[in-house]
């Protein structure tokens, strides 16, 4: 299904750009790249979004010092986390204060 949509998007882009010899300063490769990026964003699955978020969290944790649970920020976060809960749609939540 994803391949069909991708091929349709590429075919549509090719049809629209056929005969565009003078693009008046528009970079055709950039336009195609933008279209493909928009397609990827439109077809982003929940699993893809979760993987991207996990990667971002890992990068943030590796580059920053996380406050300890006994610090004033850790204690404040514990109160907030208790009110919010520790599970969102079946996914465990790990709150941290950086």
Q: pLDDT tens digit string along 44-67?
A: 888 888 898 889 988 888 888 888
pLDDT at 2 over 70: no
pTM of the model: 0.44
CA 5 to chain centre: 20
Is residue 45 within 8 Å of residue 53, measured between CB atoms?
no
In angstroms, rounded to a whole number, what is the distance separating the alpha carbons of residues 17 and 31? 10
Strands (E), the chain: 87-88, 91-92
pLDDT at 72 over 60: yes
Is residue 47 within 8 Å of residue 90, measured between CB atoms?
no
Report the DSSP beta bridge partners of residue 88.
91
Instruction: Quickly state the pLDDT bin for 29 (edges 50, 70, 90).
Output: confident
In angstroms, rounded to a whole number, what is the distance separating the alpha carbons of residues 98 and 83? 20
Q: Is 33 left (phi over 0), alpha (psi -120 to 50) or beta?
A: alpha
């Amino acid at each position: 299904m994803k391949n069909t949509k991708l091929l349709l998007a590429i075919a549509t882009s090719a049809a629209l750009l056929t005969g565009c010899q003078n693009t008046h300063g528009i970079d055709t490769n950039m336009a195609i790249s933008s279209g493909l990026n928009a397609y990827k964003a439109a077809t982003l699955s929940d699993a893809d979004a979760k993987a991207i978020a996990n990667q971002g969290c890992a990068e943030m944790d590796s580059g920053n010092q996380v406050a300890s649970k006994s610090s004033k920020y850790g204690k404040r976060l514990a109160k907030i986390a208790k009110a919010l809960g520790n599970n969102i749609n079946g996914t465990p939540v790990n709150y941290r204060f950086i």
